[in-house]
């Protein structure tokens, strides 16, 4: 979603501001812009890609030592140049004096806009952001830091902002509430960004701001105050290892690279695991796990589907009642609360606005314990939960989540096993066997990845379709949902997933020769039921595309296309079965010529509700 970069230096910082935007492109955006101080305020904006902005700037000899840049994902107002950030606010003579970029949503912007309009401020955009620029300008008292401290108190909603002004040429002020913002420390120069990735190659010394912090970034100092305007020190972290993530290697897209990284990502997620022990989830986990009697999982998107899969495991293996809910639904309803249910948030980014709000709400409702399964150790979600397990997928750049999903499943399986063991539902022999299966999982995944050429052949015919159905049963129903989500996200083919037993209750009406029906068909206890559902599809002329296990005796025939995975992988089978669906979506999108890593209208990290 939106991205922020800011810099104060003694050299031209335009290349840093642009490179930062390039590194944030993966988050999804529809316009971008840069503003610098070079005596006055100068700005360039584009509704195209960062590369186009770069060209515009190169042609105009645009330079400066202080500045901010932004990628915008439209919320208030269409993706148009006048709505792109940075936003300016002029003084009475019409000279631009304040430049500002913003991530998030200001809920009371209309009220503030009316006030400012009455004072004579003119608005050239439909954004909530321009309101903050004018507000800062209006409240400016000669000290930008002090002004921003006061101005943000007027704002309701979620925001991260970076602002500079004409009268203080070597200063950028930042503030965060509900959206991430961090400081990058340099030598005689300092930076701001919404994501450490933006500053890779510039600095690895990072300070993460806390909720309500305001920061004064100058050439040789950074000063932070908390929500009560009290000066605070925040720890400095050394953050590296981003350069590998940016490098595509032999792959055409980040999504393809990330699909193929899954064996490594799972190996890393399992690193150091010798047994299923509560301490994997934090020091207090043993006590917490003793106390809880149920689980409430909250998540969005792909993370929600990993949680849905885990419900099958948690209930059948650990015997613990588990409820899984979409975070944006949970946060606005009145659930019957079981305070002893462990709240588990599942998130790749750890910053998804709805999941964070749902976590906060669950705590307010009286849930005593919380756990985050997350890919970013420094994220708000990890900071705000009592327990955590970090998936070690590495940076995920493709908007369509792949390696984050399979590592989340791995972590949720570890949680299941740990709870099962504590509840006397796992013998030492079973523990040994599950550990063995987990360790072999990366190899099993390699065999599935080797099926790519067969899947490419299918993708050619999928690329010509506009609709697809996905079927699964039991543990693999959420995998069918995830497969359909992947296909629609990046190929724009309308795809829906159903539990196969529901076919007769509606979707069968859609089945014709034109309808490809992708079937996730592991050789588990439900295979015979699933075969009957497949017959129902064939009888209506539907084309079946079946992912079967090699030991399931399912063979290709007229209208039935079968790709065989290795032998059935038991409880961990969903982790294998999702991979061909990822590859099918990827190659179908490739054949349709879509922007695989940055699908239209979507963002990687959804930091607004």
Point out which residues bind ligand G6P (CB under 6 A): 300-303, 347-349, 352, 355, 399, 401, 602, 604-606
CB of 300 to ligand G6P, least distance (A): 4
Nearer Cβ to ligand G6P (30/189): 30
CB of 305 to ligand G6P, least distance (A): 8
Nearer Cβ to ligand G6P (399/546): 399
Nearer Cβ to ligand G6P (426/579): 579
Catalytic residue check, 165 = no
Which is the catalytic residue, given 2, 32, 165, 300?
A: 2
CB of 320 to ligand G6P, least distance (A): 23
CB of 364 to ligand G6P, least distance (A): 20
Catalytic residue check, 2 = yes
CB of 56 to ligand G6P, least distance (A): 28
Q: How many Cβ atoms are within 10 Å of 57's Cβ, its own excluded?
A: 20
CB of 101 to ligand G6P, least distance (A): 22
Q: Do residues 563 and 547 make contact, with C-beta atoms less than 8 angstroms apart?
A: yes
Q: Do residues 242 and 217 make contact, with C-beta atoms less than 8 angstroms apart?
A: no
Helix (H, G, I), strand (E, B) or coil at 33: strand
Q: Which residues, at least 6 apart from 556, have a Cβ–Cβ distance to it below 8 Å?
A: 562
Q: Give me the residue whose beta carbon is nearest to ligand G6P.
A: 301
Nearer Cβ to ligand G6P (191/305): 305
Q: How many Cβ atoms are within 10 Å of 166's Cβ, its own excluded?
A: 17
CB of 254 to ligand G6P, least distance (A): 12
CB of 524 to ligand G6P, least distance (A): 26
Nearer Cβ to ligand G6P (269/347): 347
CB of 210 to ligand G6P, least distance (A): 20
Nearer Cβ to ligand G6P (372/526): 372
Q: Which helix (H) or strand (E) holds 67?
A: strand 66-72
HEC sequence for 191-258: EEECCHHHHCCCCCEEEECCCCCEEEEECCCEEEECCCCCEECCCEEECCCCHHHHCCCCCCCHHHHH
Maximum Cα–Cα distance across the chain: 80
Helix (H, G, I), strand (E, B) or coil at 59: helix
HSE-CB for 118 with a 13 A CA cutoff: 6
Nearer Cβ to ligand G6P (349/582): 349
CB of 257 to ligand G6P, least distance (A): 16
- DSSP notation for 341-398: EEEEEEESSS--HHHHHHHHHHHHTT---EEEEES-TTSHHHHTSSEEEE-------S
- DSSP notation for 294-328: EEEEEE-HHHHHHHHHHHHHHHHTS---EEEEEHH
Nearer Cβ to ligand G6P (180/507): 180
CA dist., res. 5 & res. 183, Å (int): 10
In this structure, what token pair is assigned to residue 75? 């919320």
Nearer Cβ to ligand G6P (402/519): 402
CA dist., res. 577 & res. 58, Å (int): 48
Helices (H), 423-548: 428-449, 452-462, 477-491, 527-539
Can the peptide bond before residue 86 be classed as cis, meaning omega within 30 degrees of 0?
Answer: yes
CA dist., res. 461 & res. 467, Å (int): 12
Phi-psi region of 178 (alpha: psi -120 to 50; beta: other; left: phi over 0): left
Q: Do residues 400 and 375 make contact, with C-beta atoms less than 8 angstroms apart?
A: no
CA dist., res. 409 & res. 305, Å (int): 9
Q: Do residues 375 and 406 make contact, with C-beta atoms less than 8 angstroms apart?
A: no
Taking CB atoms within 8 Å and a gap of at least 24, the contacts of 180-186 are 180/208, 180/209, 180/351, 180/379, 180/380, 180/607, 181/4, 181/103, 181/209, 181/213, 181/215, 182/206, 182/207, 182/208, 182/209, 183/207, 183/209, 183/215, 183/217, 183/222, 183/224, 185/222, 185/236, 186/9
Which is the catalytic residue, given 257, 311, 421, 604?
A: 604
CB of 454 to ligand G6P, least distance (A): 26
Which residues are marked as active site? 2, 604
């Amino acid at each position: 979603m939106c991205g922020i970069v800011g810099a104060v230096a003694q050299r031209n910082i335009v290349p840093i501001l642009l490179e930062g935007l390039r590194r944030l492109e993966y988050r999804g955006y529809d316009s971008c812009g840069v503003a610098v101080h070079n005596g006055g305020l100068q700005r360039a904006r584009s509704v195209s890609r960062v590369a186009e902005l770069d060209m515009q700037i190169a042609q105009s000899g645009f330079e400066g030592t202080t500045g901010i840049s932004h990628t915008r994902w439209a919320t208030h107002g269409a993706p148009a140049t006048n709505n792109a950030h940075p936003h300016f606010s002029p003084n009475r003579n019409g000279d631009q004096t304040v430049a500002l970029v913003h991530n998030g949503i200001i809920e009371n912007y209309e009220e503030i806009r009316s006030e400012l309009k009455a004072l004579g401020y003119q608005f050239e955009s439909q954004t909530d952001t321009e309101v903050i620029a004018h507000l800062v300008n209006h409240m400016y008292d000669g000290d930008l830091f002090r002004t921003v401290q006061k101005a943000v108190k007027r704002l309701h909603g979620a925001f991260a902002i970076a602002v500079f002004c004409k009268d203080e040429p070597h200063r950028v002020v930042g503030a965060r509430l509900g959206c991430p913002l961090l400081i990058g420390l340099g030598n005689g120069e300092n930076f701001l960004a919404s994501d450490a990735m933006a500053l890779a190659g510039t600095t690895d010394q990072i300070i993460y701001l806390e909720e309500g912090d305001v920061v004064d970034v100058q050439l040789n100092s950074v000063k932070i105050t908390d929500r009560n305007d009290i000066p605070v020190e925040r720890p400095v972290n050394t953050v590296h290892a981003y350069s590998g993530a940016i490098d595509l290697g032999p792959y055409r897209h980040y999504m393809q690279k990330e699909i193929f990284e899954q064996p490594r990502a799972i190996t890393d997620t399992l690193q150091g695991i010798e047994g299923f022990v509560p301490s994997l989830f934090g020091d207090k986990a043993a006590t917490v796990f003793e106390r809880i009697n149920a689980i409430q999982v909250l998540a969005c998107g792909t993370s929600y589907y990993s949680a849905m899969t885990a419900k099958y495991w948690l209930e059948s293996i650990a015997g613990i009642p588990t409820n899984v809910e979409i975070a944006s639904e949970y946060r606005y309803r009145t659930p019957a609360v079981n305070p002893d249910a462990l709240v588990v948030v599942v998130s790749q980014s750890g910053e998804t606005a709805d999941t964070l709000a749902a976590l906060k709400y669950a705590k307010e409702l009286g849930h005593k314990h919380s756990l985050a399964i997350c890919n970013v150790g420094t994220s708000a979600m990890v900071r705000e939960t009592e327990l955590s397990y970090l998936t070690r997928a590495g940076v995920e750049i493709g908007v369509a989540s792949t390696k984050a999903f399979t590592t989340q499943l791995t972590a949720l399986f570890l949680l299941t096993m740990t709870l099962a063991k504590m509840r006397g539902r796992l013998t030492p022999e079973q523990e040994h066997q599950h550990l063995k299966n987990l360790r072999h999982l990366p190899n099993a995944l390699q065999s599935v990845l080797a099926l790519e050429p067969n899947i490419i052949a299918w993708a050619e015919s999928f690329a010509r379709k506009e609709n697809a159905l996905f079927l699964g049963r039991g543990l693999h129903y959420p995998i069918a949902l995830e497969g359909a989500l992947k296909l629609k996200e990046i190929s724009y083919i309308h795809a829906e997933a159903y539990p196969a037993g529901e076919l007769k209750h509606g979707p069968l009406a859609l089945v014709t020769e034109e309808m490809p029906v992708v079937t996730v068909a592991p050789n588990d206890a439900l295979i015979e039921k699933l075969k009957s559902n497949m017959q129902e599809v064939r009888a209506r002329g539907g084309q079946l595309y079946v992912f079967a296990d090699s030991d399931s005796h399912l063979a290709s025939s007229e209208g039935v296309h079968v790709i065989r995975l290795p032998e059935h992988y038991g409880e961990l089978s969903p982790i294998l079965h999702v991979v061909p669906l990822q590859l099918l979506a990827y190659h179908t999108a490739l054949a349709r010529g879509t922007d695989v890593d940055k699908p239209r209208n979507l963002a990687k990290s959804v930091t607004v509700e």
